[in-house]
Amino acid sequence: MHDGLLAAMRRSILDGDPDRSAALAREAIERGLPPLDAVRHGFVPGLDEVGEGFAKGDLFLPDLVMAGEAMKAATAVLEPELQKTGARREILGRIVLGTVRGDIHEIGKTLVSTMLAAAGFEVHDVGVDVPAETFADRAREVGADIVGLSALLTTTMTAQRDVVRALDRDGLRPRVKVIVGGAPVTRAWAEEIGADGYGEDAVAAVSLARSLVGR
């Protein structure tokens, strides 16, 4: 009986329209559609379709980003209802992500952050030029499964090792996995500093993160 509403939800994600997706989420609550159904059968199918379109090359990155924004707007409306019913929205995992100290490069990190969020991770983006301790503190605070480290320069790449050490020191590993990326970063480097994985680009980062949380 909610078929029309569910289809509209899917459409709002495909269109990347946060105003529309939020309005549909409110409508769902008013009409008594269980919030978990709205997420699972309304919004998530839209997100899956966008992901597939992107993988095939039919959709571009901004399509993905805006779909993510629309998803965020819908879940912001539904989250309090979910908590009321005791249901929890399913997330793939929690990730703390940022560019390491001394490095101000933002674009690659933000792309990865967007892609991970669109894939269903809860992403805590800590920004650029981030000290090792901040990564560790934030990971503990949010109960992160993964910490993602970006570096674009050969000179700042070494700061990735500092974060691995800080997480070790705080006893967060091996529970918290570390993934690294950035133009000069290689698989060999990831192994050398004891990181748990390396992705060559944002798409690879998503599959890496999925495999690390066993999904």
Nearer to other proteins, 103 or 145 (CB): 103
Size of the site for other proteins (CB under 8 A): 20
| Contact between 207 and other proteins per CB under 8 A | no
| Contact between 186 and other proteins per CB under 8 A | yes
- For residue 111, the minimal CB distance to other proteins (Å) is 5
Secondary structure in 3-state letters for the chain: CCHHHHHHHHHHHHCCCHHHHHHHHHHHHHCCCCHHHHHHHHHHHHHHHHHHHHHHCCCCHHHHHHHHHHHHHHHHHHHHHHHHHCCCCCCCCEEEEEEECCCCCCHHHHHHHHHHHHHCCEEEEEEEEECHHHHHHHHHHHCCCEEEEECCCCCCCHHHHHHHHHHHHCCCCCCCEEEEECCCCCHHHHHHCCCCEECCCHHHHHHHHHHHCCC
| Contact between 154 and other proteins per CB under 8 A | yes
- For residue 33, the minimal CB distance to other proteins (Å) is 35
Nearer to other proteins, 26 or 60 (CB): 60
Q: What is the footprint of other proteins within residues 134-153 (CB under 8 A)?
A: 153
The stretch near other proteins (CB under 8 A) out of 6-14, 30-38, 59-67, 206-214 is 59-67
| Contact between 204 and other proteins per CB under 8 A | no
| Contact between 62 and other proteins per CB under 8 A | yes
Where do contacts with other proteins occur on this chain (CB under 8 A)? 54, 57, 60-62, 104, 107-108, 110-111, 153-155, 157-158, 183-184, 186, 201-202
